[in-house]
Structure 1
Amino acid sequence: MTAVDKNTGAEKDLAPEARRRPRWGLRVLLGLLVLLVVAGIALFVAVQHRLDQRSRGEGVVQAPSEFAALENSTGRTGAFTASIDFTSMATGAETISTEVAWDDEWFFQDPTVYNHELATTCSVLSAVANSESAYYQAGSSSPAYMEQALAELGFEEISTASYQYRSEIFDEVVDFITGTDDVVAYSVATKRVTSASGAEKTLFLVSIRGSYGSEWLSDLNMGSAATYDMEEITHEGFSEAAREIVDELAARITEEAGLDGTEDICLLFTGHSRGAATANIAAAYADEMSQGLRVLAPLSSIYCYTFATPTVTTFDTAHDALYDNIFNVMNPSDLVPRLPLTSWGYERYGHDLWLPGYGDEGFDEAHEAMCEVFEANTGVESPYVPEDRERVDKLVEDLGREIPTADDLATVKGGATVVKDLIADVNPMQVLYGHYPSVYIAWMQSLDTLG
């Protein structure tokens, strides 16, 4: 190959390096393109294979089943205490234990009256829902925490089928690619409870896992009322998950009740974070259904206790008496319950109950007692910083002023504002400590009541 010398006009040979450079550059680009195409094809094939496995119930720790008898169930009824194992984000994968109270009599009492003992037990069961995920990962030696916990509490049957394809990293990738991440993992368990007077009910416990993997994206899927030609909306990502749970409950309860009706059916919903939001909506759906023809349970037998609960709906009926059986427990230093912003019109169904917060009267003594319980449960000191309440308050105020509506959040400016304010107002990792389930458990166990 030759080139023309600008000075002499004569042709000259290019150096071998100059001749090779364009060819090697082209080869590298072509190679990268081929690799991308091959990787894309491989990913497509892998996703299709996984979807095919899901359709046939294969490729999981055990074949999904709707309900199965709980092995080693104690069958206990009445009032008792039990030791429950779970894991804490403060200690990693290490198993920790705590004592919980149980009393069948709770489910013959008015669900609109706050029951601190029941709420405290629910705070533990909502943490167990998070711990359960590890059992459903291939090669894991983690125990089935939820099955063990509910067996200790005397439950008879359980379904954890939703964990099967929602606990592996690749399944989270599949959900993201296929746009099916508006899901959640949950357990549904049953127990026959008996009152002191001899009355009986069949209790359905629904304990819902918090955000996991690609489900975090669903937390941002608030939806738009305009899409449905409505003025108000319930958070789309949370409500999709809640509808799945309610549909499963409806099918199971229909099978359980048969022709006898649902008068002796009792429901208990609980969860933390995303699980709390889903439980909040699912309980609200159950409340609404109690007023119609498709009754899951009488309104007088529906209970709900949620923890670190995001706001979920813009409907102005969220605090109607119909939802008085729903109690949401939040830590003032936790950012999650402050989102989506109330200034955008978002609320929670039922009653909001706030744990002691920095600056409240008597907080120092209450916090000291909470820290003692936290260390007794986990073996480590509580990492959460109560003073974060002031930083969270400032962040919420700044976001509300700079992002006036939920629609503004979806803009480039809105996203940039969130990032800017987060960096300026809080330490994202530090503020997460106040969201830990084990922090909520320690607060609940150290207090006599709330509200």
Structure 2
Amino acid sequence: MVTGHSRGAAVANMLAKRLMASGFVSNNIFAYAFATPNVSTSVSALPNIHNVVNPEDFVPKAPLEKWGFGKHGVVHELPSLSNTEMSSYDQLHSLMNDHFKKLVGEDHLNYTGAAETSEFIANVGNYAPTVQAYYETRHGVGQLTTYEYFMKLAGVVGGGGDIADFSTASASFPDLAGYLIAGGLLSPRIFHAHGPETYLSWLKAFSS
């Protein structure tokens, strides 16, 4: 069995596919990947690779399907107001939040469904309709590529970047900034949608 979260999920997804193609008995290989990014432009719907994704999390939607990317295996979505009736979702989310608070010490901040995240991904695709455009097309006053903008975002997320510099760069990407920035800081909902604590808390809610 192979497993992982986020980048670890991408590795688990690709490793399981490679093991199955390398002569191992496929029925003996299982992958459970959480928040799995898209990993390839040539994917296989292998039933033993399970991708658990939060539809409100933008990481599993990157690199963009618009660019031809996908993930191996089957996809299982966590509950969201986009795929679950409201009263059932509220009950499930309350259970999930109890576990999340024990892990993180604060309430879980969710989106009101996946629409905001889907719009964000669509806007990324508008700025960068192709992989080449992602790396080469420059935007706004700052004349940044979409790649350069997301590298600034990665720096802030990793703790080595400057949020003020990122906020300034966001002026060149107004259709993305509203999703990413709240009150001059990175929106906590981004982390609450993607963090391993969120995925673990949902699993605990199901088991309880």
- Calculate the TM-score normalised by the size of structure 1: 0.36
Q: Does 1:281 align with 2:14?
A: yes
By how many angstroms is 1:390 displaced?
2.8
Partner of 1:446: 205
Partner of 2:62: 339
Distance in 1 (alpha carbons) for counterparts of 2:200 and 2:57? 14
Aligned pairs (5 A) from 1:182-221: none
Partner of 1:357: 80
Higher relative contact order (CA 8 A, sep 6+): 2
What is the letter of the counterpart of residue 278 of structure 1? V
What secondary structure sits across from 2:199 in the alignment? helix
By how many angstroms is 1:334 displaced?
1.1
What secondary structure sits across from 1:447 in the alignment? helix
Distance in 2 (alpha carbons) for counterparts of 1:378 and 1:446? 13
Runs of at least 5 residues in structure 2 that lack an aligned partner in the other structure: 150-169
What secondary structure sits across from 1:271 in the alignment? strand
Distance in 1 (alpha carbons) for counterparts of 2:100 and 2:92? 12
By how many angstroms is 1:308 displaced?
0.7
Partner of 2:117: 392
Partner of 1:422: 176
What secondary structure sits across from 2:70 in the alignment? coil
Partner of 1:7: none
The answer to whether the Cα contact below 8 Å between 2:127 and 2:134 also exists between their aligned partners in 1 is no
Aligned pairs (5 A) from 1:25-424: 268-290=1-23, 297-315=24-42, 317-319=43-45, 323-359=46-82, 360-361=84-85, 362-375=88-101, 377-378=102-103, 380-387=105-112, 389-413=114-138, 415-417=144-146, 419=170, 420=173, 421-424=175-178
Decide whether aligned partners of structure 1 residues 422 and 401 sit closer, same or farther in structure 2, where only a CA change above 3 A counts. closer
Distance in 1 (alpha carbons) for counterparts of 2:137 and 2:15? 33
Q: Which structure carries more helix by proportion?
A: 2
By how many angstroms is 1:432 displaced?
1.9
The answer to whether the Cα contact below 8 Å between 2:124 and 2:176 also exists between their aligned partners in 1 is no
By how many angstroms is 1:388 displaced?
6.9
Name the Cα RMSD after superposition.
2.2
Distance in 1 (alpha carbons) for counterparts of 2:67 and 2:137? 18
The answer to whether the Cα contact below 8 Å between 1:391 and 1:426 also exists between their aligned partners in 2 is no
What is the letter of the counterpart of residue 387 of structure 1? T
Identity %: 30
By how many angstroms is 1:429 displaced?
3.6
What is the letter of the counterpart of residue 273 of structure 1? S
Aligned residues: 171
By how many angstroms is 1:412 displaced?
4.0
The answer to whether the Cα contact below 8 Å between 1:395 and 1:426 also exists between their aligned partners in 2 is no
What secondary structure sits across from 1:340 in the alignment? coil
Q: Deviations over 1:183-226 (max 9, x none)?
A: xxxxxxxxxxxxxxxxxxxxxxxxxxxxxxxxxxxxxxxxxxxx
Decide whether aligned partners of structure 1 residues 379 and 402 sit closer, same or farther in structure 2, where only a CA change above 3 A counts. closer
Runs of at least 5 residues in structure 1 that lack an aligned partner in the other structure: 1-267, 291-296
- Calculate the TM-score normalised by the size of structure 2: 0.74
What secondary structure sits across from 1:441 in the alignment? helix
Decide whether aligned partners of structure 1 residues 437 and 379 sit closer, same or farther in structure 2, where only a CA change above 3 A counts. closer
By how many angstroms is 1:385 displaced?
2.2
